[in-house]
Structure 1
Amino acid sequence: MHVLFVPSWYPADATDFSGSFFIEQAQALAMAGHDVGVISVKGVPVYSPAQLRGRTPGIRLSVESEIRTYRMDKVLPFPKVPGGNERVLLHAWRVLLTRYISENGRPDVLHAHAMFPAGVVTHALSDEFKIPFVVTEHRPSSMDRLNQKWNGVNGRRAALAASALVAVARGFAAELNDAYNIGQDKWQYVPGLLSPQFQDIPTRQIPDGPFIFGHVSHLDPGKRVDMLIEAFAEQFHNVDGVRLRIAGDSIHKAELETLAGSRGVGDKVDFVGAVQRKDIVAEFSSAHVFVLASVAEAFGTVLWEAMACGLPVVSTATWAGKNAVGEANGLLSAIDNREELGQALVTIRENFNSYVPEDIRAICVDHCGREAFTSQYEMLYTNAVQASRR
């Protein structure tokens, strides 16, 4: 199968981790024997020309981990004209697709990542080049754009025309079906891909020493690390041998450190800062339990990465939490409920020995490991190609 990714955003180069999971998904399909390419257009607002400084104009071709990648930057000159910038992006993506086909042959299927703008643009390219397409939605915020007239009309048209519509959480799929309201429940759940760093690792050895609750994120307010610290403080400030380990860095780190001190657990909370990707498996493995107290999560990549190491997890009942957590691998608590989160921390510590690391890892790999991911998308692609030939 020849698959061409059309992502709404994509890493600018090897040092950029924004959207790096798109590269990992392309690599997984390539490892399964498929021919995979990427065409990526970065839209630059007309009022932010500095973003283009030092960047090569025109089409940039590179081969990254055997994935042929065509990039182009495009100034978006119509900030207040509905559909104006989308037409500019369509022209740029059309140029890339034409060049791609001339050098690599015609893809069997186009795979758009996120409806706005890639899904809408890919619908137009599909019509013009007669190539079927599927859309995977990663961003809950996309539903808000359906309330805008131009986006609502064109997003729903693209949804109707797509061979398949994929959401990265079961609850997300249900809400997308309600939001699009196209007369059929076309959005379906297909898990994201477990990062390849976690694919073939052994189940971690349970660490010696104090009992550690671990957390990894960018420390954004939506992750509710503040509530995690407060819940930990309420339950464990007078308990020996229990620690909270927080990995990640942001402008909010200093205020979180201050909060831990003010709650009397400054000496029990370890802020380890940003962790390089090459060290992330070791970071997860250093904890006994992983905790994610977010207000909203779609797929919740970090939950699956922790489970790949064999850790039980505590998560708030986001789409991701409900997707990932069951009796065999952890506990759920209500969103924004400090007391319930604290009780979950106490309960999972008390029952820690009842969780089997090997079973937790198996749940993860069976759900979103490389083979599970590729087999489900292979089916979607095959169905799309067969339907286009009828």
Structure 2
Amino acid sequence: MHILIIPSWYKTESNPTLGSFFREQAQALVRAGHKVTLLFPEISYDTKDIFNTKISIFDDEGVSTYTKKQYMIPKTGCFGFNVSFYKGINDLYNEAVKQVGTPDIIHAHSCLWAGYSAMKLSSKKNIPYLITEHFTKYSRGLIKSHEKPLIKKQIKYASKVIAVSEGLKNDLEEYSLGKEILVISNMVDVNKFALREQKSQNDKFKFLSVCYLMQKKGLDILLKAFAKSFKGYEDVELIIGGDGEEKDNLLRLTNELGISSQVKFLGALNRDEVIENMQSCNAFVLPSRFETFGVVFIEALACGKPIIATKTGGPDGIVNKGNGFLVEVEDIEGLSIAMKKIIDNISCYDAELIRTDCIKRFSEKAVITQFEQVYKDILGKK
């Protein structure tokens, strides 16, 4: 079948890793034998893009990808963003149809903002659409009052609605008006994220955390917990990959806690660098304040690493007694204890079993098979 994918966020020149899981899922659908087209308008506030009609077209490992800069009038809020995003989608769609034909189904990732464009395009072209929701805004109470009716409308007219975790499904029920919400997890490329033979046991024990350095990721909690348990321990270190608005604050906190010699900030990482660090660490930890799923957790599991996460709804369905610990949000003491337990019991974690369980639940085959069934159900009903 021909699947049209519309992501709410996607890679740009300034942020080449953004939306990487949308891209990898699209490529997985191609490998499963489907024709896949992806459209993404990058919203711009630069007046030089007011009359920009340039469309970039490229083949991304089998995915026919169409992107463009789309101007938005500043300070027009939700309405302006929706109108601009849809205008960009409409332009890209018209060009794509000329070259690759009409899709059978539209798959939007997140109501804000792709869901609106999918709904409009579906109505205009009589093509069914579904929405997979990923956004943390629901659990964080950040959905604005004027956005709620629009989200309810998108869900009402969608053929199917999917959440990436049980926690997010529960958050979405307020908007579903009784409509069934399915749960299909994000996936991990288990061929790239794979086991690697560990080096000598004389090496330092390495905790790894990878994320955008934002307040909601809880890295301040991680630094405090690490200092509480391991300050001055020369054989334990914390590696942090990523960049973002909290970087300076985190560097300052690291100095204040007196753990600068034990903490390494790697900056933004590309996919190969993420894989390298996942494979070389001993355990992965990310104490997010909000998390609808957490792709980095299943990437670590695919590499056979035990993980520590917080009870935010998303990771709750990932962590089990055989692969790590769940701790309460903002719990410095609990996180500190969990990190100690990981080190004390590291020999009890079986990398092969951790990876096997991950493959069973989150591999490309496991996830894409579920999506294929949803697509068939929708098109059968059509």
The answer to whether the superposition gives a TM-score over 0.5 is yes
1:2-21 matches, within 5 Å, as 2-12=2-12, 16-21=16-21
Q: CA deviation at 1:345?
A: 0.9
Q: Which has the higher mean CA deviation after the structures are superposed, 268-277 or 321-330?
A: 268-277
Deviation at 1:85, TM superposition (A): 4.7
CA contact (8 A) 1:199 1:370 kept: no
Q: Which residue of 2 aligns with 1:111?
A: 107
Q: Deviations over 1:271-322 (max 9, x none)?
A: 3333332222221122211111111111211111111111101111122321
SS in 1 for 2:292: coil
1:239-388 matches, within 5 Å, as 239=233, 241-250=235-244, 252-388=246-382
Post-superposition shift, 1:201? 5.0
1:230 aligns with 2:220: no
Query: C-alpha distance in 2, partners of 1:258/1:86?
Result: 39
Range with bigger deviation, 57-66 or 339-348: 57-66
- Is the Cα–Cα contact under 8 Å of residues 199 and 369 in structure 1 kept in the other structure? no
Structure 2 residue 215 is the aligned partner of structure 1 residue 221: yes
Q: 1:315-366, CA deviations, whole angstroms, 9 ceiling, x for partnerless residues? A: 1112232121110000111100101110111112111111110111112222
Structure 2 residue identity aligned to 1:348: I
Counterpart CA distance in 2 for 1:80 and 1:246 is 37
Q: Which runs of 5+ in 2 are unaligned?
A: none
Match of 2:94 in 1: 98
Q: Which residue number corresponds to residue 167 of structure 2?
A: 171
Measure how far apart 1:257 and its partner are: 3.6
C-alpha distance in 2, partners of 1:301/1:271? Answer: 20
Q: Is 1:183 paired with 2:178?
A: yes
Q: 1:225 to 1:15 in 2, by over 3 A?
A: closer
Residue identity in the other structure for 1:156: K
Question: Aligned partners of 2:204 and 2:21: how far apart in 1?
Answer: 33
User: Is the counterpart of residue 148 in structure 1 residue 145 in structure 2?
Assistant: yes
Identity %: 29
Change (3 A) 1:81 1:226: closer
Distance change (3 Å), C-alpha of 1:31 and 1:295: same
Task: Tell me the distance in 2 between the aligned counterparts of 1:100 and 1:147.
Answer: 33
Counterpart secondary structure, 2:59: strand
Name the CA distance, whole Å, in 2 between partners of 1:251 and 1:98: 37
What's the CA shift for 1:77?
3.1
Unaligned regions of 5+ residues in structure 1, if any? none
Mapped contact 2:164–2:292 kept (Cα < 8 A)? yes
Deviates more, 1:69-78 or 1:169-178: 69-78
Deviations 1:30-77 (A, max 9, x none): 0110000012222324xx436x49x96333322222221222332223
Q: Is the 8 A contact 1:10 1:18 kept in 2?
A: yes
Runs of 4+ off more than 4 Å:
142-147
**Secondary structure of the structure 1 residue equivalent to 2:206:** strand
Q: Alpha-carbon deviations, 1:120-177, whole Å to 9, x = none? A: 221121122111111111212268675433x333321221111111112210011111
User: Matches of 1:124 and 1:85 in 2, distance apart?
Assistant: 14
Q: Tell me how many residue pairs correspond in the alignment.
A: 379
Query: Which SS does the other structure have where 1:107 is aligned?
Result: coil
> CA–CA distance in 2 between the matches of 1:304 and 1:204?
16
| TM-score, L = length of structure 1 | 0.88
Specify the alignment match of 1:41 in structure 2. 41
Instruction: Give the superposed CA RMSD.
Output: 2.5
Match of 2:24 in 1: 24
Equivalent residue for 1:132?
A: 128
